[in-house]
Amino acid sequence: MSFVKAIIFIISFWSAVSHGDNASAEQIPFSIPNTEKIVLPVSANGIAYELYVHVPPACSHSSQCPVVYMLDAEYSFALASTIITHLTDRNRIPPVISVAIGYPDKSHYRRDRTRDYTPFFHQTGGYGEEMQKVSGGGPAFLEVIKAEVIPFIEESFPAATTNRTLVGHSYGGLFASYAWMTAPDIFDNYIIISPSLWYADGAPLAAVRKACEDESVSESNIYLAVGAYEEQPQNGRAMVSDLEALEEILSNCESRKVSTYMRVFEDETHASIFPAAFSTGLRKLFQR
């Protein structure tokens, strides 16, 4: 084959491949191994939820694996389940089951998380006044997790009834803080990432101070994380300063048994912080 013919053959080959003309190519839908989605009946608060569940093969039915509960399933689950698999396969953490709570109808995601993740009604903030009209559903949502979600998971999967972890980011971090304040017996560990402590003009920080006056026999491990770019003026909110204030309150929370660790991640923004903080938080809580 002459040099010119060889060049023409190579060009024709790559053109065919790039345009999908290669008969050997096949497009196959991809799914995350060892996962399933469960649509729950309408809950006591009148809302329909769905659960995304990842059970590692090591969590056989003869085992009892700790469970990591997450909010914002729509973006957290695929990231988190893959991170967990990666760390578990390399013996960095023990096998854990991950459960993310989401919504079957994705069309009003912002409204749903505003309702469920905020601990009390406040007219302004977040996604705007229209969304804030449904705010304050946090107490009812926490009761759904306690009375419906956790019992279902512990009855249906090889899940331990102790050493539960709650993960929340942004509004979800606000909700996780609220859960620790009001029901510290549900979860043992918390990964609280960039919590919206600015909500209602900073009222959550005052609520944490108040909660620290209440004695609790439950021991809590709390991992706090935020991106360095989440401070003013880059983000428009003082989220680094707020988290530092939260860490100081928790570190001096003498009436409750709480261990805290905080990290400010360099170069991370509110949108990019979750994977790094989740991975590091898992290793801090479960490091082998």
pLDDT digit string (tens) for 87-136?
Answer: 999 999 999 999 999 999 989 999 999 999 999 999 998 999 999 999 99
Q: What is the pLDDT of residue 164?
A: 97
Asked if residue 109 belongs to a domain, the reply is yes
CA distance 116 to 28: 36
Spatial CB neighbours of 26, under 8 Å, sequence gap ≥ 6:
none
Per-residue CA distances from 208 to 62, 198, 245 (Å)? 39, 13, 10
Asked if residue 244 belongs to a domain, the reply is yes
Angle, helix 239-251 to helix 199-211, in steps of 10 degrees? 10
Report pTM: 0.89
Asked if residue 157 belongs to a domain, the reply is yes
Domain of residue 186, residue span: 30-286
Count up the domains in the chain and report the number. Answer: 1
Q: What is the pLDDT of residue 268?
A: 96
Asked if residue 265 belongs to a domain, the reply is yes
pLDDT digits (tens, 9 = 90+) for 246-288: 999 999 998 888 999 999 999 999 999 999 999 999 999 998 6
Asked if residue 108 belongs to a domain, the reply is yes
The CATH number of residue 255's host domain is 3.40.50.1820
pLDDT band at 22 (very low <50, low <70, confident <90, very high): low
Closest CA to 81 of 31, 28, 40: 31
Q: What is the pLDDT of residue 213?
A: 87
Asked if residue 254 belongs to a domain, the reply is yes
Q: What is the pLDDT of residue 265?
A: 97
